[in-house]
Amino acid sequence: MPDEERSEDPRQEQGPGDSPDSPDWIHRAVIYGVDVLRFQDSDGDGNGDLKGLVARLDHVERLGADCLWLLPFYPSERRDNGYDVTNHLGVDPRIGELDDFRLLAEEAHARGIRLLLDLVLHHTSNRHPWFQAAESDPRSRFRDYYIWSETEPPDSVSASAFPNERGADGIWTRSERARAFYRHKFYDFEPDLRIASDALWEEVKGILDFWIALGADGFRIDAAGELFADIGLPGDQADAGRRLDDLRGYLRHRAPSVALLGEVDLAPEQLPTYFDRGRIDQLLAFLPNNALMLSLATEDAAPLCAAVARHDDAVRHGAWRQFLRNLDELNLSHLSDEQRQGVFDVFAPQEDERIYGRGIRRGWAPMMEHDRRKRMTISLLFALPGAPLLVAGQEIGTGDDLALPGRASVRLPMQWSAEDGGGFSTSQEGEAAHLVTEGPFGIRSVNVADQEADPGSLLHLVRALIRLWREHPEIASPRTDRLDADPAIAAFRYGSIAAAHNLAADPRPLPEAMAAGQLLLGDETVDGGLLPGHGFRWVLLP
């Protein structure tokens, strides 16, 4: 489209089936997740900030991503990577000010990049003014915002979301100030919010309104699957459908194009409540993510293909956000004990590489071990039904640091160049102290500048995959057809496009249906029609 024909507001540019008054844009968006504190330092204090992110928007635009997911940047003591929010209506002083967010929104929108903010509704920090008031005065209106019990509930010793971590043993803690126990599914410094409270729910809508006015285009609802869980106390269970219907109704009136992405890590059969009636536009695809790791470990595509089919059966019109690795533990709770152990044996053989008995704390690129498997799996991400989520650093294959505690092992500064400070910061303080400087994943070996200059790099492949995904919208269909193939080949068809990915280290036969296809991206066949080990191939069918 010529420049003079472009909309003045890039957020109003429409894709197929999109409307300026609809959140459907999210189904065609490539989301790029950014932990602002670790992306780019603009003032030399060693911490990334909003101004630094603005300075790096050209990288996001060149990559082809058109939606930034911002991990929590609100005021916080960052005892839980910013999810211990102390003020939902502000910016952490280390990260910037509200005016910096306004600048980010203006500059991102000028490039056609939307902003997706983390909406942390499940809990607050115990330093949040709401909780401070609730503790101090039982007659305060804020007392109703949290979940209390005068006596210790029988489930007090239940495992928390983070077993065996300090502050996470049990789910009830006594507050001496409040003279009562408060519930916390996560850490003891993160008291659970009582979503059943109508007054709190109005606060939630006020938070959305605040950030929409400043330029937010959508929200990722953190721990959405936990919001409405039965907590075992009378009157404290919110009706998920009623609350989500109310939220969607509010958005249709306030800002109909605002999209919602839900973190709902539940079995597929439990997901319709979140999708029905347009309540949440997309859900993160946890089951396929678990199945992908199992398929990679066993070199068998069957678990992945079965997970895709199970999602299709559970939610016919579902829209999935596929991912390889987030900035949390790689949670494998959808696998059986035997399956999970099989994945551990391949990708996390050392006890220190595992966490919570259910997950892995290694980074995606180190687990893949060599370039061919990295390239194949990043391509497979774009082949799964729905839309892809990339996290900053995955486009170049950054590593991990197992010397850091817990989930911090994969929360590392972005590696922009081989120079001291990695192009991230001129300081060695703050987050800059955690830069990986040595080894095969250090800044000398893995960085944006070097990969920019190498047409065969992972960075250039990711850009090519995003272009391919955009040029052929049928790839993003929520439903796909599996092609008959060798057990190690994950092969899908999307209308006139087909893709095959070899999960095995040795060559395997290309699906017969793809033999006459025109190569669009990927590997040439070898030995008369075999897809190379850990190879991939996208074709246009006759």
Q: Is 225:264 a contact under the CB 8 Å cutoff?
A: yes
Question: Which run of H or E residues covers position 111?
Answer: none
Tokens of 416: 């922009």
What count of other Cβ atoms lies within 10 Å of the Cβ of residue 501?
A: 26
263 assigned to active site? yes
- The dihedral built from the CA positions of residue 444, 450, 451 and 456, taken in this order, carries a sign that is negative
- 454: exposed, middle or buried (Cβ count in 10 Å: 0-12, 13-18, 19+): exposed
- Which residue of the set 84, 190, 222, 431 is catalytic? 222
CA 317 to chain centre: 21
CA distance 443 to 407: 21
Tokens of 80: 């839980």
Terminal CA-to-CA distance of the chain, rounded, Å?
Answer: 29
Tokens linked to 381: 């991400």
CB 39 within 8 A of CB 52: yes
Q: Tell me whether residue 222 is one of the annotated catalytic residues.
A: yes
The length of the chain is 542
The token pair at 148 is 């209390």
Q: Which of 24, 41, 226, 263 is catalytic?
A: 263
Nearest alpha carbon to residue 154 among 194, 121, 195, 183: 183
45 within 8 A of 429, measured Cβ to Cβ: yes
Helix (H, G, I), strand (E, B) or coil at 438: coil
Residues with a catalytic annotation lie at 222, 263
